[in-house]
Each structure stands twice: as structure tokens, then as C-alpha cells.
Structure 1
Amino acid sequence: MAQTLRLEQSVPPQHPDVLKAAALKRMKNIALALLIFMAVVFCFAFALQPRFPWLAYVRAAAEGGMVGALADWFAVTALFKYPMGLKIPHTAIIPNRKDEIGASLGDFVETNFLAEEVVSQKLATTHIAQKVGTWLTKPGSADRVTTEGAAALRGAISVLKDDDIQDVIESLVRKHVMDPPWGPPVGKLAERIFADGHHHALVDLLVDRSTTWIQANHDTISGLVTDRSPSWVPVFVDGLVGDKIHTEIYKFARAVQDNPHHEVRLQLDKYLKDLAQELQHDPAMIAKAEDIKAQVLGDPEVRELAGRTWETIKTALTDAVDDPTSELRLKFTSAVHDFGSRLVSDLELAGKVNKWIADAAAYLVGTYKHEITSLITDTVERWDAVETSEKIELQVGKDLQFIRINGTVVGSLAGLAIFTVATLVFG
């Protein structure tokens, strides 16, 4: 009764607990009213029995009903509290054995609900992949997944500290770029490129550009000859020599350009291949490559590179998730929708996904089922004993009151039957 008053004062009238408390109160009143009714009937029948002998049967029924009602009242009450405040042994079972009940409930759930075979069998018949695929193909579902994913990514970006990310990037650059020597891998890559002749296109480009420049810069070449000739040489001689030099250089460049097997090209190929070998095997050349690496990427440069890399990634991701029309979001939405379609139409893929889900669930249950059920045990242990009793009574107390009502009815019938049989037998 006190519990009902507390609930009515602390929660809204339509709250489920208030409704349950009201129903519990109503059933208690019905059971009590039935007990009082049996007591009144017993008193009248007992008093009038000498004048009306047939009332003995009514008295016996009322007497049995009172015994049944009182016995079941004691049994129901003993679950949740001490009957009439008397600390009778084996009463107030729930408050006194709260922790044992919580542990038993946890063990029951762990054994019967979180068993690997139970979870695997249930998931095998659920067809989660097909259901998820059907949902993803519905209009708006892929957009919703994208929106939620964008929110999660935005939250992750805001939580991450720039300095920590830069430290991670810097450590990765140092581990995979700075610490390993550059010479051997660069030489091995160059050797493969030179062996396959992929550098010839670059050589052709350089030769073509050089030939074009020589042809278009006659005055520049002649001017170089004039600037470097002695002052006593006549000007017209400088002009003739400059023209000759320009002509010969241009002819030489055209010869290199037109002949894929020109000696210059062959020597250049030999030089590049030798350089690739030296980068791999010559300690002096390897040391030079390391010096170049140190000059290009020192500590400040690496730190700056890490900072610029993270800022670029962060800005790109932030702009992409904030813009509903960004290419990243559109492609992700399309990929989600396509994946859902494949889950529905591709039975092999759906089977693999279902098996993966079942295996993952079985692993989680097998590994962490004790931690999962400890939530029940720990929660019950934290509850106050009286509060626990009230919570449980609120959930099942209404049904338990039917035990009192049934006990009253059954007791009445039993009392009447016993008295009738005894009367018939003994007179």
C-alpha cells in the first residue's frame, strides 16, 4: 500500500508502474474482501447452526475458505516481507535472498539463452543478411545510413586531437619512409623500369624539347660564342663560328632524336642501369642517397608534412560529410544501396554474411557471456533489498493475488467436501 502511494506521487498517472500498482492494489482488496466475506458467513452459520442444521455445511465451506485464504495469504506475503512483521523462519524470501536470486537468474540466462548453439540456431533461421538487404534497398534507407555514418565520422573527427593524429602520421612516415634506406629500393625500382624500357618515353620527351629549344634559340647560342671569343677576333668571324656551332648542335640533336639506337641513347641507358646497380650495392652511392634524403626530409620537414597531411584529410572529410551533394556521400550512398541489392539477390553472398554474423555472435557469446550476465547479477546486488522486493511484487504481485482468491475458493470446496464425507461416514 505504501509502495502504491509512493508511485502515485512520484510518476505520472499513466506510467506503466502506476497502472501496475493500481491493479495490484485492486486485486489485494478483492482477495481481502473475499476473506472477510468467508469470515462473516462462518460467523452467521456457526451462530445459527443449532436452529438450522443444514448451515453446518455452509459453516464447513466458509471455514475451509478462511483456512485456504489465510494459508495462501501467508505464502504470498512470505515471498516479499515478514507476515505482520513477525520474523518467522523462511519468510521475506526475496529481500533476504536477493543476491542469490540475481545470481541464479544470471546463471539461468547464461545457460539457456546465451549458449553458442542456441544463438547459432536462432541466427541461422533469421536470415539477417536478407532482411538488412531488403531494408537497405528501400527508398531513404541508404540515405539514412549515409547520414548516420556522416554524423559518426564528424563526431570522430571532432573528438580526435590534431597533435595525436599528427604524431601517428609522423611516426608512420619515420617508420616506413625515413628509417629504411632509400638507395636499394629506389635502385631496384629503377632497374625494373630501365630493363622494361619505360624510361625511353621520358628520354624522347627530353630530346624533343631540347631539339626544339636549340632550333628556336639561334641568337642565344651565337651570343654565347661572341661573349666568350677573344676581343681581337672580328665580329663577322664570331658570327660565322656561332652559326656553325648552332648548326652542328642542331644536327647532333636531330640525329639523337631520329635514331633510337644512337650512341648517346645507348650510353644514357648504360649510365642509368649502372646507377640503379650502384644504388643497390655501392655503399658510397647508398650513403649519398641517404644524405639527399636527410637534406630533403629533416625533422622540421617531416613534422610539417604530417601536419599538412592531416589538415588536408580533415578538411576534405569535413567538407564531404557536411555537403549532401558531395561525391563521397553520393558514392557511399550508392555503394550502400548496391550492397543491399546484392544481399537480396546474391544467395552466396547472403549466406557468407549470415555465416559471418552467426560466427561473430557465437564467438562473442562464448567469450563474453559471463560478462553479459554479470549485468543482471551486479544490478540486482546494487538494489536495496526492500526496493527489490517491491519491484518484483509490482511485476508479478497481481497474478499472485489470484493464488489467494483460488485458495479461498478451493479451501471452501475442500472444507465442504471433507465435512460432507465425514458426515456420511460417521453420521
Structure 2
Amino acid sequence: MAPTFADSNRATRLRRMKILAGGLLALMVVLFVTASLTQDRWPALAYVRAFAEAAMVGAVADWFAVVALFRRPFGLPIPHTAIIPRNKDRIGRALGEFVANHFLAPEVVAAKLDSLDAAGWLARWLNQGDNATRLARRLAGLAPALLESLDADTAGPLARAGLRQGLAAVPAAPLLARLVAALATSGHHQSLFDQLLDAAAGLLDGHGETIRERMAERSWKWLPRWVDRKLADKMVDGSRAALAEMHAPDHPWRLEAQVLVLEWCDRLTRDPDLVARGESLKAEMLNHPEMAAALDAAWIAARDRLRDALASDNAPLAAPIEQLLRKAGARLAGDEHLRAVLNRWLRRAVDRVAVPRRADIGDFIAGVVERWDGRTLTRRLELQVGPDLQYIRINGTVVGGLVGLAIHGISRLLG
């Protein structure tokens, strides 16, 4: 994995702290040598020599302790060194157990969730700056890849099942009644009625000869043929004229037909037999093989059109997502009851999903650590905690020197 900018900064800080700790050790060496060479002339330098001598011991001991965590000092096979790389798997298991038993313990999770207003934090975050805009762009950017990953064999049955369940949950007869009543009250049914009249007139014109033949078959045998044809023509012409007259908006038959339609709509919502017949017809349609093929085709066409549109530009999708996120943030910020409901839902979700599976989460953490390369793990841990560990070397140098100085002073007092 390529080093990041943060890793470069940590490496620079680690190198600086190593130079500081090593420089302090070198200073103690210089003080020790200088004091050893000049203490005969200046006896008081014996205290400096004692301080520097003990400081060197402390510095080297703590250097060894720090280095032994990550590698073998000087490459020597000293026991109990290179602790982290040699015990990587055991550390991973211990880390997984620690997280599972302490961070995901039921009482710990419950106490944390009780004090955490996750819904309030989400509301503040969505209403802050351009967070909603950036999140909407991220979500819109994921849409093409998500659609591309959904093939017909996987998503088709799911989409078909979802559509079928949705349609099955809607009562057919009342829905049809509302649709027809809406058309009737809005006047859109008038054009449909005119089209039906024109279709009926077309049928009369196209099947005039068939009507004449049927009348001839059912008339008296003693009537001449031309009389049968005359009667048939009169009936066809009369029917055509009646259909033409019904184009008038105030025609009685037209008004009566509208009343019958509204009464039929009312029966669709009240008559149990009609409701049952509607449900039976709906179930038959939903279970028909052609319906499954139609739903699959509709899903594939919708997916392809949406994918092509998003592949060129996801801005049209980002705008409504951003608007939805901003509305959600404003609603959450102003509705304390909704925030409480979401927080309770979050707690129940964590209690039902995360807490019962904390052992699995611990095993997952252990598995991730086990798969890490030993050198990579050692390097990353050293970058993270190495600078702070150099303070152990510095403190060991100072504390060791002070202890050596105290021992030297006590030994002088005791003679």
C-alpha cells in the first residue's frame, strides 16, 4: 500500500523524535567522557559523571525496550524481542476479544446509545455547509455502478416480486372505481365516449353485409330478398343516426350512460361480489406468464434508460437527492419526536444486529489482523505510536541520570 500524506508526516515526526532521543544519549556520552577525564582537576564533576553514567544506562535500556517491540535489536536473536511481528496473530485475537467483550458489551452499548443523539447529530450535519450537496453527489455517483451490478437474473425476479406484491396489496375494484370516477368527474370520459361511438359506427359500416345476411336467415321465408335488405339497411342507418346523435353532450342517452358509470363505480366500492371478482381477476392477471415477462421487460428497460442517463451526467439525480436530504435535515432538526423515534430505532437495530454478533465481529477483527503482512503492521504501528515511545527513551535518560546522581550523593554521604 502506497504511503499517504499522513504517513509521511508521521514518519517525519518519528525521525525527529528518534534524533532527539539519540542526541540526548550522545550528550550523556560526551558528559561522561568529559567528566571522567577532568574530575581529578575538578572533583565536583564526579556528580556530573554519575548522572551521565546512569543516564546512559537508562537511555540504552529504554532504547532496547522500545526497539524490542518492533524488531530484534541489532538483528540479534534475543528472546522476547520483535514482540509485535512475532505475536501478530495473538495480538489480533486479543484485540478482537477486547473489542467484543468491552466495546460491544450489552451494557456498554446501551449506555452509549442512551447518551448518543445520533438523529440530532445527523440533522446538524445535513444542515451544516454543503454537506448535503457533497453527500448527494456521492450517492448519485454510486447509482450507475449499482445499476450496472444488477443483472436481469438477479434483480429481475426481485423487481417482479416487489411489483407483484405491491399490486396484490392494492384492492382492484376500489382502485378502478376511483380511476373511472376521476375520469368522469373531470370530463375526460367524454372523449373516450366519443371514440366508443365512432368505433361502434365503424363496426356497423364494416359489417353491413353480415347484418343483412343474418336478417335474411331469421326473416320469413315468403318475404322477398329485397325486402330483407331494405329492412337491414333501415336498421343500420337508424343505428348509425342514433350513434351520431349521441355525440351531442346533452343527449339523454349520453347523460344516462354517465349516470350508469357513476353508479357502477359506487357499486365497485360497496358490492362484496364485485370486489371479490375484481380480486380474482387481479390475481389471475398477476399470475399469468405474460405478466411476468412484461414486468421483466419493464424492469430491464427502466434500468437501461436510467443507467444510460446517469452514465452521461448524474447531476439530474444529485439535485433531487440533495433536496430530499435538506428536507430530511430540516425535519429532523425541528421534530424532537421524530429524532426520538429514530434514536430508538437505531438502538433496537444495534441491539438486534451488532450485540448478538459481537463474537463474529471479534473474529472478523482477528482475521483482518492475521491477514496483514507482519512488516506492514509493524511499520504502521511504529508510525502511530513510535513518536510517543521515544519519550520513554528521553524520560529513561533523565530519570536514570537523576537516580544515578541520587545514589552517588547518598554514597558520598555514607562515606
TM-score under structure 2 normalisation? 0.62
The alpha-carbon distance between structure 1 residues 93 and 167, as it changes in their structure 2 partners (threshold 3 A), is: closer
| Counterpart in the other structure of 1:183 | none
| Counterpart in the other structure of 1:283 | none
Do residues 129 (structure 1) and 119 (structure 2) align? Answer: yes
| Counterpart in the other structure of 1:262 | none
Q: CA deviation at 1:417?
A: 2.5
Match of 1:358 among 303, 326, 347: 347
Do residues 310 (structure 1) and 299 (structure 2) align? Answer: yes
| Counterpart in the other structure of 2:409 | 420
The alpha-carbon distance between structure 1 residues 103 and 277, as it changes in their structure 2 partners (threshold 3 A), is: closer
| Counterpart in the other structure of 1:118 | 108
Q: CA deviation at 1:350?
A: 1.1
User: Does the residue aligned with 2:104 lie in a helix, a strand or coil?
Assistant: coil
Q: CA deviation at 1:52?
A: 4.9
| Counterpart in the other structure of 2:88 | 98
| Counterpart in the other structure of 1:64 | 54
Matches within 5 A, 1:111-190: 111-137=101-127, 147-166=137-156
Cα distance between partner residues in 1 of 2:54 and 2:275: 109
Q: CA deviation at 1:346?
A: 1.3
| Counterpart in the other structure of 2:29 | 36
The alpha-carbon distance between structure 1 residues 242 and 342, as it changes in their structure 2 partners (threshold 3 A), is: same
The alpha-carbon distance between structure 1 residues 337 and 224, as it changes in their structure 2 partners (threshold 3 A), is: farther
| Counterpart in the other structure of 2:382 | 393
Match of 1:20 among 1, 7, 13: 13
The alpha-carbon distance between structure 1 residues 115 and 23, as it changes in their structure 2 partners (threshold 3 A), is: farther
Cα distance between partner residues in 1 of 2:343 and 2:275: 53
Larger Rg computed on CA atoms: 1
The alpha-carbon distance between structure 1 residues 397 and 318, as it changes in their structure 2 partners (threshold 3 A), is: closer
The alpha-carbon distance between structure 1 residues 361 and 55, as it changes in their structure 2 partners (threshold 3 A), is: same
Contact 1:170 1:302 (C-alpha < 8 Å) held by counterparts: no
Cα distance between partner residues in 2 of 1:55 and 1:380: 52
Cα distance between partner residues in 2 of 1:279 and 1:11: 68
Gaps of 5+ in 2: 243-251, 257-266
Contact 2:62 2:396 (C-alpha < 8 Å) held by counterparts: yes
| Counterpart in the other structure of 2:367 | 378
User: Does the residue aligned with 1:90 lie in a helix, a strand or coil?
Assistant: coil
Cα distance between partner residues in 1 of 2:357 and 2:227: 97
Cα distance between partner residues in 2 of 1:66 and 1:166: 74
The alpha-carbon distance between structure 1 residues 100 and 41, as it changes in their structure 2 partners (threshold 3 A), is: farther
User: Does the residue aligned with 2:394 lie in a helix, a strand or coil?
Assistant: helix
Q: CA RMSD in A?
A: 5.7
Cα distance between partner residues in 2 of 1:418 and 1:363: 61
Deviation sequence 1:99-140 (CA, Å, 0-9, x none) = 333333333333333334434433444422233234445686
Match of 2:328 among 336, 339, 349: 339
Cα distance between partner residues in 2 of 1:387 and 1:13: 16
Deviation sequence 1:136-160 (CA, Å, 0-9, x none) = 4568665655554444443333222
Contact 2:92 2:370 (C-alpha < 8 Å) held by counterparts: yes
Q: How many residues align?
A: 371
The alpha-carbon distance between structure 1 residues 314 and 15, as it changes in their structure 2 partners (threshold 3 A), is: same
Cα distance between partner residues in 2 of 1:11 and 1:234: 102
User: Does the residue aligned with 2:354 lie in a helix, a strand or coil?
Assistant: helix
Do residues 107 (structure 1) and 97 (structure 2) align? Answer: yes
Q: Mean Cα displacement is larger for which, 87-96 or 353-362?
A: 87-96
Cα distance between partner residues in 1 of 2:360 and 2:165: 39
Contact 2:7 2:383 (C-alpha < 8 Å) held by counterparts: no
Task: Please tell me the residue identity of whatever aligns with 2:93.
Answer: A
Cα distance between partner residues in 2 of 1:417 and 1:353: 63
Contact 2:31 2:49 (C-alpha < 8 Å) held by counterparts: no
| Counterpart in the other structure of 1:368 | 357
Contact 1:13 1:19 (C-alpha < 8 Å) held by counterparts: no
Cα distance between partner residues in 2 of 1:30 and 1:90: 27
The alpha-carbon distance between structure 1 residues 363 and 19, as it changes in their structure 2 partners (threshold 3 A), is: farther
| Counterpart in the other structure of 1:406 | 395
Contact 1:27 1:398 (C-alpha < 8 Å) held by counterparts: no
TM-score under structure 1 normalisation? 0.61
The alpha-carbon distance between structure 1 residues 332 and 64, as it changes in their structure 2 partners (threshold 3 A), is: closer
The alpha-carbon distance between structure 1 residues 331 and 31, as it changes in their structure 2 partners (threshold 3 A), is: closer
Percent of aligned pairs with the same residue? 31
Q: Mean Cα displacement is larger for which, 22-31 or 161-170?
A: 161-170
Cα distance between partner residues in 2 of 1:351 and 1:122: 15
Q: CA deviation at 1:348?
A: 0.6
Task: Please tell me the residue identity of whatever aligns with 1:31.
Answer: L
The alpha-carbon distance between structure 1 residues 390 and 41, as it changes in their structure 2 partners (threshold 3 A), is: farther
Contact 1:98 1:380 (C-alpha < 8 Å) held by counterparts: yes
Deviation sequence 1:57-95 (CA, Å, 0-9, x none) = 444334333333343334334333444444444344334
